Amino acid sequence: MSDIQIKSVLIEQLIEISKEAGKAILEVYNTNFDYKIKEDSSPLTKADTLSNHIIFERLKALTPDIPILSEESSNIPYHERSKWSQYWLIDPLDGTKEFIKKNGEFTVNIALISENKPIFGVIHAPALNQTFWGSSNGGSFHMEGDNKAKKITVSSYDASSIRIVSSRSHQSKKLNLLLKRIENYELIHRGSSLKFCLIAKGEADLYPRLGPTSEWDTAAGEAIVRYAGGYISAINGNKILYNKKDTFINPEFLVSSHIKLIQSLAALNKKS
């Protein structure tokens, strides 16, 4: 398997792949669709399947030597994927619960993992017609529709009032306990990986995820936040590494615009 580097031409192609998948998702979104419940109790729609097929086929044609791992096709034994130095990690429809609720807050996520870390990620929100991406050699960007892309960076740290973004569909008692320890904050609710995008764009300061997620939920968002100048770590302060274990479940984590905020909350967690 030959490794690839993220360059501007490849980024443009990946953005187009995410948009193509987004169009297929919207075609289903605008109908009276049905859904079923998977073994892990998460919902699955025709849109998930269509998006997954499009992304798989386009990535295989674009980079035939790079393996692909997706939420909808993750039954690859660890002894096989542990040998990968680089691979695509995708969530063809992140926020299926938001998709079913028809609130528009769902995304297509595509990430490139190299040596257990995301070096590129694109998040496309079809219903909002917005696209975010970030790469290790170019920084992070936001584009509305087909308008010119704008470079984005995280906000500067202001301890007097912290803007905290949390899930619409996954409420947590642990989050409520954490909020009690923070004196001044504003709570913002968003679905799917758009929470990462708010951090990267400077519209939120902290995203604490104190419940289960999978690696395909976070990889693209982590890349966009990191290359916008932000930080992500496990709740205990350790780095998050991808494809290092048999399971795809992430540890609880913190995403923030500033390392000091992560460090202080990680310290609070150790005391509790």
110-153 pLDDT, tens digit per residue, is 999 999 999 999 999 999 999 999 999 899 999 999 999 999 99
Of 118, 152, 186, the last residue of a domain is 152
Average pLDDT over residues 83-93: 97
- For 167, the domain range is 162-271
Residue 157 lies in a domain: no
Q: Is the pLDDT of residue 67 over 90?
A: yes
236 dihedral zone (left: phi>0; alpha: psi -120 to 50; beta):
alpha
Residue 61 has a pLDDT of 97
**Which pTM does this prediction carry?**
0.95
* CA 49 to chain CA centroid, nearest Å: 19
Whether 106 and 188 share a structural domain: no
Q: Give the chain's domain count.
A: 2
State which of 152, 182, 210 marks the end of a domain.
152
- Residue 173 makes CB contacts below 8 A (sequence gap 6+) with none
Using the structure block, give the residue that is written with the tokens 């904050």.
Answer: 185
Same domain, 54 and 167: no
> Structure tokens of 90?
């995708």
Specify if 3 maps to a domain.
no
What is the C-alpha separation between 115 and 241, in angstroms, rounded?
A: 9
More confident residue, 229 or 175: 229
